[in-house]
């Protein structure tokens, strides 16, 4: 059973590694980005509200995300553990999650922070080519990350929950480092 949060800039490998750990530890991989992209593809009300923010690299407003996370973490499969990827993304989401995890009695074990230099992030994302992976939007995502998400590093470090991993290595080596942390 693991309950962990992935932190790191766009392109750091959060989704890639969360997916590996989800299989290895048999717990759901909960990606707010994936949930939002599905909503956009389905043209649901959530998707229609979120799309313009996503296309410009801004965070979607908290009120679109918070209920969705509460609903997802209280589904039955999340009772056996979870890996959060892309949430929380700012201090108010982190405070919301804190209260929610107390309410549902599901403490988070650790926060895995993937560290990768900006030039590597940009080239990985340009190569991937998702809709929000063009140079202008990537640069804005990095600005938004520095301003809104990076403060969470100190937030979690001050609670002794943060473990930083070098994400600028081959995928298998990153996965091995992560497993070592989780099994220690």
Site for ligand AP5 in 126-155 (CB under 6 A): 128, 141
Token readout for 106 is: 């599901």
Q: Which is nearer to ligand AP5, 16 or 134 (CB)?
A: 16
Contact call for residues 62 and 93 (beta carbons, < 8 A): yes
Known catalytic residue: 147? no
- Of the candidates 3, 37, 124, 141, the residue annotated as catalytic is 141
For 18, what's the count of Cα atoms within 13 Å in the CB-facing half-sphere? 29
Binding-site string for ligand AP5 from residue 21 to residue 60, where x marks contact by CB under 6 A and - marks none: -----------xx--x----------------xx--xxxx
Site for ligand AP5 in 108-127 (CB under 6 A): 124-125
Known catalytic residue: 157? no
Q: Which is nearer to ligand AP5, 160 or 176 (CB)?
A: 176
Site for ligand AP5 in 75-94 (CB under 6 A): 86-87, 89, 93
Applying CB under 6 A, the residues found at the interface with ligand AP5 are: 8, 10-16, 32-33, 36, 53-54, 57-60, 65, 86-87, 89, 93, 124-125, 128, 141, 170-171, 174
Residues annotated catalytic, as ranges: 14, 89, 128, 130, 141
């Amino acid at each position: 059973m693991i309950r962990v949060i992935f932190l790191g800039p766009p392109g750091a490998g959060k989704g890639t590694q969360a997916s590996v750990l989800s299989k290895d530890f048999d717990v759901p991989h909960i990606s707010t980005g994936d949930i939002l992209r599905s909503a956009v593809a389905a043209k649901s009300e959530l998707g229609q509200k979120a799309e313009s923010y996503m296309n410009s690299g801004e965070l979607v407003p908290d009120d679109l995300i918070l209920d969705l996370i509460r609903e997802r973490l209280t589904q039955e499969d999340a009772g056996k553990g979870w890996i959060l990827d892309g949430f929380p993304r700012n201090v108010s989401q982190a405070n919301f999650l804190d209260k929610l995890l107390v309410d549902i009695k599901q403490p988070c074990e650790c926060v895995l922070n993937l560290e990768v230099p900006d030039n590597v992030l940009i080239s990985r994302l340009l190569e991937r080519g998702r809709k929000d992976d063009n140079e202008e939007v990537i640069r804005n995502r990095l600005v938004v990350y520095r301003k809104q998400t990076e403060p969470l590093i100190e937030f979690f470090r001050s609670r002794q929950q943060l473990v930083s991993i070098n994400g600028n290595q081959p995928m298998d080596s990153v996965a091995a480092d992560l497993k070592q942390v989780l099994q220690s």
